[in-house]
Amino acid sequence: MKLFIAIDDTDNKESIGTGRLSRMLAEELAEKDLIGESRVTRHQLLVHPDIPYTSHNSSACIDTVMGDCIIGDIAACAITFLNEHFHEGANPGLCIAKQDAVPKELPFFGLRAQIDVISLDEAKRLAGRLGTFTWWNGETGQGCIGAMSAVGLRSTGNDGRYIELKGIRNIGGMISVGEILRLTAIERVATLSGENLPADEIVDTQDWVRPILKEWLVTLEVIPVNEHWRAPHKKKAKSE
């Protein structure tokens, strides 16, 4: 069974960040044989003065296959992990959903969280009504908003930047499109307009390869620079 496991608001200014913690959680769950191979995406939410956040207001979603267990086992392990890595001032949230049974309200909720300020009460009411596994902790439990949003956004097939994916942390420098596709789980290298690049084109990775999820495909978007290509963004977040 395929699952989405999302977390948010797990850190403070001195901690390692939600992105890295999500990758550590995926490793922990795999080591306990609760999940199989996984991929992790970062999802950007609204940055607004009325929303408490540490640096970028992003959440993370683990895309994985469940092992020989039940969702309750995964949830219990994830909660223990988050409590063990709890930082003073954090308000962690966790949301787990079957990939083929994400309630239709969650994608809309996630899209709203990218443009509107959503109240904690609304999020908790929705969690109770949907019955999707949702947990929160800390003084406010604010992280449930981001965790629920991450599941919803990931389920659209058109949101998220991969921060954990086979091969992306093992390549760097100048490399051909063909090598990128051979050495990683990236499925296409394309221009911002959606044109796939041929295998012999050269990409300057800037030693930071973070593809996105676009039309259900793992896509490395690039822009032309002189005689080669590069990603439009550079590394900018400690949490990734």
Mean pLDDT, the chain, as a whole number? 92
Parallel, antiparallel, or unpaired for β 217-225 and 188-191?
parallel
The pLDDT of 91-111, averaged and rounded, is 96
Q: Does residue 22 sit in helix, strand or coil?
A: helix
- Per-residue pLDDT, 15: 65
Q: Does residue 120 sit in helix, strand or coil?
A: helix
Give per-residue pLDDT as tens, 145-199.
999 999 999 999 999 999 999 999 999 999 999 999 999 999 999 999 999 999 9
- Per-residue pLDDT, 141: 85
Banded model confidence at residue 98, pLDDT cuts 50, 70, 90: very high
The answer on 92 and 27 residing in a single domain is: yes
The answer on 18 and 79 residing in a single domain is: yes
In a domain, 42, yes or no: yes
- Name the domain boundary from 161, 188, 209: 161
The answer on 131 and 63 residing in a single domain is: yes
Report which of 39, 43, 35 is spatially closest to residue 18, judged by C-alpha positions.
Answer: 43
The answer on 135 and 57 residing in a single domain is: yes
- Per-residue pLDDT, 240: 65
Identify which has the larger pLDDT, 50 or 34: 34
Structural domain range at position 64: 2-161
Parallel, antiparallel, or unpaired for β 228-230 and 202-204?
parallel
User: Above pLDDT 90, what percent of the chain?
Assistant: 79
φ/ψ (deg, to 5) at 210: -135, 90
The answer on 183 and 116 residing in a single domain is: no
The pLDDT of 81-86, averaged and rounded, is 92
The answer on 136 and 53 residing in a single domain is: yes
The answer on 66 and 44 residing in a single domain is: yes
Asked whether residue 54 carries a pLDDT value surpassing 80, the answer given is no
Per the structure, how many domains does the chain have?
A: 2
In a domain, 237, yes or no: no
The answer on 178 and 134 residing in a single domain is: no
The pLDDT of 108-134, averaged and rounded, is 95
Asked whether residue 104 carries a pLDDT value surpassing 60, the answer given is yes
The answer on 205 and 95 residing in a single domain is: no
The mean-pLDDT minimum among 52-66, 110-124, 174-188 falls in: 52-66
The mean-pLDDT minimum among 34-43, 60-69, 80-89, 189-198 falls in: 80-89
- Per-residue pLDDT, 239: 46
Asked whether residue 5 carries a pLDDT value surpassing 50, the answer given is yes
Using CA atoms, how far residue 112 sits from 6, 32, 117, 141, 150, in Å, is 17, 35, 8, 19, 12
Contacts (Cβ under 8 Å, ≥6 apart) of 168: 162, 184, 185, 186, 209, 210, 211
The answer on 185 and 156 residing in a single domain is: no
The pLDDT of 76-96, averaged and rounded, is 92
The answer on 120 and 6 residing in a single domain is: yes
Residue 90 is part of a domain; what is its CATH number?
Answer: 3.30.70.2200
- Name the domain boundary from 123, 141, 161: 161
The answer on 33 and 67 residing in a single domain is: yes
Alpha helices in 35-133 (DSSP H): 71-84, 105-113, 120-130
